[in-house]
Amino acid sequence: MYSPRGTFIVALMSFFGLGSALNIRSITYYDPTAGGGSMLDNAGDGYGEPLNVIISGLSFPDVLTDDGILNYARAIGFSTECLRIHSGNPQSADLGDGNGYVNQTVEFREDYGSVDAGTCLESVIGGNHFRIYRQNGPLANSGALFLAVSKEEPATDNHHIVPDGYDIGRDELVSWGVGQTSYGDVSYSTTAQNITGLLAPGSAGVNHDISQDGIVTLLTVTII
């Protein structure tokens, strides 16, 4: 589930007492439901979108920062929203970390091969996109990033989620990320593990009443 090189480096730093100084954490994530949270975010209408991808807290610390996750997103085919304008209200999530419901940190959209203009195309014709929530509260400070990933329809269909769009969006993002990728002179190695038992399968409480398979994919990202 982890990159051998990345795990070795983290273990070595921990042995020499460098982990805390570099903000390296020692856990993948905490189950939000254990702290009263949810694996569905709050879409504002009584329903939510599944948090179907987690970027592990054991990923390299630079990846888990705001700037770092933007660079990683660009390495796997996503970028900031068109003209950095977000339409609609932000969604929120309670990750069971003691912070309660917190608005999404950022939203990224498929860039169709252009980090500068591609997300404007996604806003028109639809595509993959994801919201990010950071688990960093006082009760569960893993530093992990929880992603709500889905594939959406074109603007003409009001950006509704495509049929099976939560599973499709997750699987696309994972396939684009796994292995070696790079952007801006930073190279990454990403491994993936599918987890069951965190997210209930089905459509109960899920936005747009779209059923999903209950699989959450854990990504561990190292800088190489």
- Local mean pLDDT, 10-residue blocks, the chain (224 residues): 41 45 74 98 94 98 98 98 72 98 97 93 94 98 98 86 97 98 98 98 96 98 98
By CB neighbour count within 10 A (0-12 exposed, 13-18 middle, 19+ buried), where does 98 fall?
A: middle
Contact 123, 114 (CB under 8 A): no
Query: Cα dist. 195→89, 168, 214, 217 in Å?
Result: 30, 16, 9, 6
By CB neighbour count within 10 A (0-12 exposed, 13-18 middle, 19+ buried), where does 139 fall?
A: middle
Quote the CA–CA distance of 69 and 66 in Å, as a whole number. 5
The total number of structural domains in the chain stands at 1
For the chain, give the longest Cα–Cα distance.
56
- The single-letter code of the amino acid at 189 is S
Give residue-wise pLDDT tens across range 31-88: 999 999 999 999 988 999 999 999 999 999 999 999 999 999 999 999 998 866 655 6
Q: Residue 26 is part of which domain span?
A: 4-223
